Amino acid sequence: MTDLNIIILAAGKGTRMRSDLPKVLHAIGGKPILHRVIEAARQLNPQKIIVVYGFGGEQVQQLTPGEDLEWVLQAEQLGTGHAVQQAVPLLGDNGSTLILLGDVPLVDVEACKQMLAQADQHLVVQTFIKDDPTGYGRIVRNADEQVLAIVEHKDASEAQRAIQEVNTGIMAMPNAQLKNWLSQISNHNAQKEYYLTDIIALSVREGRAVLPYVVTDGWSVTGINSKLDLHDIEREFQKRKGYALMTQGVTLLDANRIDIRGTLTCGRDVIIDVNCIFEGDVTLEDNVHIGPHCVIRQASIAKGTKVSAFTHIDDANIGAESSIGPFARLRPGTKLSEKTHIGNFVELKNAQVGIGSKVNHLSYVGDAEVGANVNVGAGVITCNYDGANKHKTIIEDDVFVGSDTQLVAPVTVGKGATIAAGSTITKNVPADTLTLCRAREQRSIQGWKRPQKVKK
């Protein structure tokens, strides 16, 4: 393949989405539809990717990064042929062009490769047999099965409307011929539009055979026009992700109840329970088990770790053989070593926790360095914020922090120290001591009576 150009048509308004966001910026698998089409295009190693934009185009451009993209404005939507015409000045005379649709995110890259193998000589049109072809351009063939024309639904006769083979909208052709044909199309048709599909009959008229490429995967040609389409494609996309994971050996308790909005990389014998959402790049090493209803974003979880139900993990690294949750929240900057235990209603933020340490109940540990074999009791809070600045708490190895302790940062608790329950620690704690700081030591008053209800 020499000099391949790809034109992505994305100027449509997307009225049926009923949204202020341009249609092609709605997401499939956490990524805008158009970005998925661009990724597919990149897999074909083109020389140029030209995106034809229209309505809301500035926003589409701003939110679509890529040094390799060239943007062409189609100020008025006068038809698919007119849209491609806008990109013609960017096409060389040699090489070939592939036309993709900006709202068809599951485009079949392999099929495009096969089409391109013939597109330096011929116009190749991707077609699909549809049970209900209503609305689509019909592929008209002669008795020898050769393609003669594409007739749009609104222009088709009753007999033509019975044809079930439809134009998917994806086609490839030599540049020189494309330019020549586009200069000849008109808008004398039912929709008063410049139809790209008219180039088929023009090729046939010149005696150049048009090659059909019939695809069988309906999802690969399905465009998104409404929130219903968006939903259906999303579910298909997620089903494919789930099936790919199961094929690799991952156990999914229900492939219909998992959402992967990024890249999920799994080792051997990983088990994922229902209703989990994975975002960004997530790695689960061998024997990691994820309980139900977890949201895990941008994280790595090492071998043998169990994450229990309703845990939320965001931008964190978790060591091997650890136990997290249920109901734990690991916020950005959390780094847990091996064999750590983080229990229910514990929030960690920007905190490192050493080997074998435990924070098991109702704690907040933020901006902290926790050593190895530390036990952080129930309800311990690192008071890291003074209202203006954040300060650090250091808890050295083998420390025991009693329940309901407040560690007012900046503060360091020395190795092996014990802090009595209910202490408010404002000064550094020396190593290997028992430190207690309570308002008043416990007293017991003998013979004390509870107040009695006064009789009226």
The question of whether 361 is a catalytic residue gets the answer yes
| 22 makes contact with ligand UD1 (CB under 6 A) | no
| 103 makes contact with ligand UD1 (CB under 6 A) | yes
CB of 179 to ligand UD1, least distance (A): 17
Q: Which of 22, 34, 48, 80 binds ligand UD1 (CB under 6 A)?
A: 80
Q: Kindly state the number of chain residues that form the binding site for ligand UD1, as judged by CB under 6 A.
A: 27
Q: Which of 97, 119, 113, 91 lies closest to 40, judged by CA?
A: 113
Residue of 153, 289, 361, 391 marked catalytic: 361
CB of 187 to ligand UD1, least distance (A): 11
CB of 286 to ligand UD1, least distance (A): 44
C-alpha span between 377 and 354 (Å, rounded): 16
CB of 237 to ligand UD1, least distance (A): 18
| 195 makes contact with ligand UD1 (CB under 6 A) | yes
Q: Which of 4, 7, 9, 309 binds ligand UD1 (CB under 6 A)?
A: 9
Q: Which of 87, 156, 196, 429 binds ligand UD1 (CB under 6 A)?
A: 196
Taking the least distance from each CB to ligand UD1, the nearer of 73 and 434 is 73
| 99 makes contact with ligand UD1 (CB under 6 A) | no
C-alpha span between 390 and 394 (Å, rounded): 13
Name the phi and psi angles at 160, rounded to 5. Answer: -70, -35
C-alpha span between 406 and 389 (Å, rounded): 17
Q: Which of 83, 270, 324, 342 binds ligand UD1 (CB under 6 A)?
A: 83
- Ramachandran region, residue 404 (left: φ > 0; alpha: ψ -120 to 50; beta: rest): left
CB of 166 to ligand UD1, least distance (A): 5
Q: Which of 4, 12, 33, 199 binds ligand UD1 (CB under 6 A)?
A: 12
Q: 197-226 mask for ligand UD1 (x: CB under 6 A)? A: x-------------------------x---
CB of 136 to ligand UD1, least distance (A): 4
Interface with ligand UD1 (CB under 6 A): 9-12, 52, 74, 77-80, 82-83, 101-103, 136-137, 150, 152, 166-169, 195-197, 223
- Residues labelled as active-site residues: 361
